[in-house]
Amino acid sequence: MERVFRIRRFDPDKDSKPYYSEYRFDAPRGMTVLEALFYIIENVDPSLSFRYNCRAAVCGSCGMEINGKHRLACATQVSELKGDVVIEPLPGLRVVKDLVVDMDDFFNKFLVVKPYLIRKTPPPQKEILQSPEERKELDPYIYCIMCACCSSSCPVTWSRSTYLTPSVFVKAWRFVADSRDEAKEEHLAGVNSEDGVWRCHTAFRCVEACPKDINPTSAIVNLRRKLAFSRG
């Protein structure tokens, strides 16, 4: 069945403003949006730029806005989408070219929460044990693939570029909730700021946007509770 793809294009080296390119071709059953983009560069327009890697919803590289929703192109079936398929880069991030956005600022924000397991005691002879119940505390948050779909859907992010963003809070809570971590106050300190968890307006757009069904708002609430409790 023929489908229409409208893709936002912009090359800052050549274009004074963004524009849309339209492509029409048969999209067979089972074709993903990422495969449609491949079809375009292989058969119609090799100048189109987009980012991908795993093609299996694991690496987080192919986040983009598709028919107004933030999704992974590799995990979105064209047949799921109604009408013209409109593909745009994630908002709130500088466009490098077409659908490729600059992720440096997004990744750099994670550093403030020390996104790694910190131990203070000497390492045990064997592994650090964790019970199934303790592991369950992490399960809702550990599958974040850092695709920026949640962060770029947040209205606070659009109005305040220094806001840490929902994905940073998910990462912080993932370590605060980890029974093996011994520096919870250090992760918490990173989100306890003007641009931290207190600035969230609970718009819940991050919850709708996450392609891995993670609930960043619950991570934010958990962090706020922990901070309030720590203050006594």
Which parts of this chain interact with ligand FES (CB under 6 A)?
52-55, 57-62, 72, 74
Minimum separation from the CB atom of position 143 to ligand FES (A)? 12
User: Count of CB atoms within 10 A of residue 71's CB?
Assistant: 23
* Closer to ligand FES by Cβ: residue 76 or 192: 76
Minimum separation from the CB atom of position 169 to ligand FES (A)? 21
Minimum separation from the CB atom of position 207 to ligand FES (A)? 19
* Closer to ligand FES by Cβ: residue 142 or 183: 142
Minimum separation from the CB atom of position 108 to ligand FES (A)? 21
* Closer to ligand FES by Cβ: residue 149 or 176: 149
Tell me the HSE value of 55 on the side-chain side, using a 13 A CA sphere.
7
Q: Which of 48, 3, 8, 9 is nearest to 23 (CA)?
A: 3
Query: Contact at 8 Å (CB) between 119 and 187?
Result: no
* Closer to ligand FES by Cβ: residue 72 or 200: 72
Minimum separation from the CB atom of position 32 to ligand FES (A)? 9
